[in-house]
Chain A
């Protein structure tokens, strides 16, 4: 899932311009440099413009129209945004997505952190287990969702089979409005916990052992060492993992499409699925465009909030 890997840090500014010279010569040098760089940059620039920038502009424009791909679009002004506020679909989809994020992110982060703590040792076979736990990351989400659908199948699935062994009649996991969404969230947690663990591991390995030794000498317990040293120093890693995971969970689609198709009822219709459904099953392109802009705004807001929360945390001085 490329979206889960996206980094949001801004680019560092480049070095200052070359030595002073007359304007003409500088301009010519600039032009020459452009000419040199052009073949390197142009292909990807064409891609970014054509397939990222231009589509965003088009969506902006389309949100003011009503269109169904078949007949010519016609202008409706802000009507799509207006109906969006009255439409129970949109509110419900956002609510469902929020629940999904709440089910998914805390659990995933805690598990990833826990796994990292477990594997952050100099003991044999750590590398093996590290690779093993990352294995789910390489599963095609669609194919894995199919397998999980099988695992949670009410009659033949592994989960209910195990429950029946101990005499419990397992529920219809994917057919119950209160169980379907947590199951979908759990599938995604399973898939990315190991991958996130790697980030935490990398972060932990930059913490100098001297800090821990000093704290141990001072009598700090393992738990205190974790909360007072490890966690604060993982601040930037935590921010990265949380931001990418939240952005990623707002875009969950494959698992929902395969396991529940947005159901039962509308209990797993997350915003991404709602937008897809509006555009490509109801053929209401204007509404779908307005909704995507809304999603874009929500993601930006959530990311901004996360940055604020983590920016003010203190970090320790490392001598």
Chain B
């Protein structure tokens, strides 16, 4: 082999090795979830299961009620995403393309809240939910986030501002209402960033742990993160079950990633840090 070909092979081998580090935990979870408990402890962790034992998933989804938790998570995440993106687009449009008194001052307030660590708001939010008897409901899980997130509003606003102003000016001259401008012009032009915001919101909602942990303490209202953690502490020896439970959370996001990976990679560039 020529020296060049050798270097190429070495380079790609390197990349594959690094890739293996990033992929192995997923593989291990996958293998472990399909082994029975006895088999799991008898075989080495990186050996694939001989046969795909589905008992773990049957236990997890039905006996341990993970199907319900999956439903809870899907529902709350969808609602959270829908709300956050909808209200976020509206706000971002207003901050980017509308003029009104106090606009920039208000926007700085939004930005300032980005510095607040999430733990600071935990106790007050919990207290508020308790006062209104909203703990242990889907409301509690979703409410603090559904009206918009300053971060995604910021991202979208930056992007909307970078769109050519002539289009908007022309539309206004033509007498289009702001609503029409939003739906007919902004939404199509802003699709990339809106998709980015949707991805960010969905991933956030799906992975959210600390707030649902506090806001719900009955079993039926748990989301996947909370129930996976609880399962792990009560069944600490039954790794086969525990790994199956974590797969229930990981697989949907994995599919989501495979479907949207181009957008996810692009979203970094759209974050506009180099603007």
Direct contact of A and B (CB under 8 A): yes
Query: What is the CB-to-nearest-CB distance from B272 to chain A, in angstroms, rounded to a whole number?
Result: 9
Q: How large is the interface on A (under 10, 10 to 19, 20 to 34, 35 or more residues)?
A: 35 or more
What range describes how many residues of B lie at the interface? 35 or more
Chain A: which residue is nearest B207 at the CB level?
A140
Query: Smallest distance from the beta carbon of A251 to chain B beta carbons, Å?
Result: 6
A47 nearest in chain B by CB position: B147
Which residues 95-137 of B have a CB within 8 angstroms of A? 95, 98-101, 103-104, 106-111, 113-128, 130
Query: Known: A156-B239, A202-B268, A251-B118. Is A52-B113 also a contact (CB below 8 A)?
Result: yes
Complex contact A139–B250 (CB within 8 A): yes
A96 at interface, CB cutoff 8 A:
no
Q: Is A131 a contact of B120 with CB atoms below 8 Å? A: no
Q: Cα distance A43–B93 when bound, in Å?
A: 13
State which residues 229-251 of A face B: CB under 8 Å: 236-237, 240, 247, 250-251
Given A134-B261, A299-B115, answer yes or no on A30-B101 (Cβ-Cβ < 8 Å).
Answer: yes
Given the complex, which residues of A lie within 8 Å of B198, measured CB to CB? none
Query: Are B119 and A135 touching (Cβ within 8 A)?
Result: no
Interface of A is mostly: helix
**A131 CA to B254 CA, complexed, in Å:** 12
Q: For chain B, what secondary structure do more than half of its interface residues adopt (helix, strand, loop), or is it mixed?
A: helix
Given contact pairs A5-B200, A139-B253, A276-B119, A133 touches B91 in the complex (Cβ within 8 A): no
Q: Is B216 an interface residue (CB 8 A)?
A: no
Cβ–Cβ < 8 Å partners of A296 in chain B = 115-117, 120
| A199 surroundings in chain B (CB, below 8 A) | 268, 271, 273
* Given A7-B154, A133-B18, A236-B273: A59 touches B148 (CB 8 Å cut-off): no
For A46, give the chain B residue with the smallest CB separation: B147
**In the complex, how many angstroms separate the beta carbon of B12 from the nearest chain A beta carbon?**
8
Q: Are A150 and B239 neighbours in the complex by a CB distance under 8 Å? A: yes
Q: Please, how many angstroms separate the alpha-carbon atoms of A115 and B15 in the complex?
A: 9
Chain A window 245-287, contacts with chain B (Cβ cutoff 8 Å), 1 for yes, 0 for no: 0010011011001100100000000001001100110000100
Closest to A18 in B: B99
- Do B261 and A131 have beta carbons less than 8 Å apart? yes
**B214, closest chain A residue (CB):** A280
A203-B19 in contact (CB<8A): no
A190 part of interface (Cβ distance < 8 Å): yes
Closest to B99 in A: A33
Q: How far is the CB of B243 from chain A (nearest CB, A)?
A: 6
Q: Which of B128, B145, B200, B246 has the most CB of A within 10 A?
A: B246
A-B complex: 6 closest residue pairs judged by Cβ atoms: A47-B147, A44-B148, A55-B124, A143-B246, A58-B124, A40-B94
Given A190-B25, A272-B119, 12 extra CB contacts under 8 A: A34-B101, A40-B91, A44-B148, A48-B109, A56-B121, A139-B26, A139-B253, A142-B209, A156-B45, A251-B118, A293-B120, A295-B117
Query: Which residue numbers of A lie inside 8 Å of B, CB to CB?
Result: 1-3, 5-11, 13-15, 18, 30, 33-34, 36-37, 39-41, 43-48, 50-56, 58-59, 62, 69, 115, 118-119, 125, 127, 129-144, 146-151, 153, 156-158, 161, 190, 194-195, 198-199, 201-203, 206, 236-237, 240, 247, 250-251, 253-254, 257-258, 261, 272, 275-276, 279-280, 285, 288-289, 292-293, 295-296, 299-300, 303
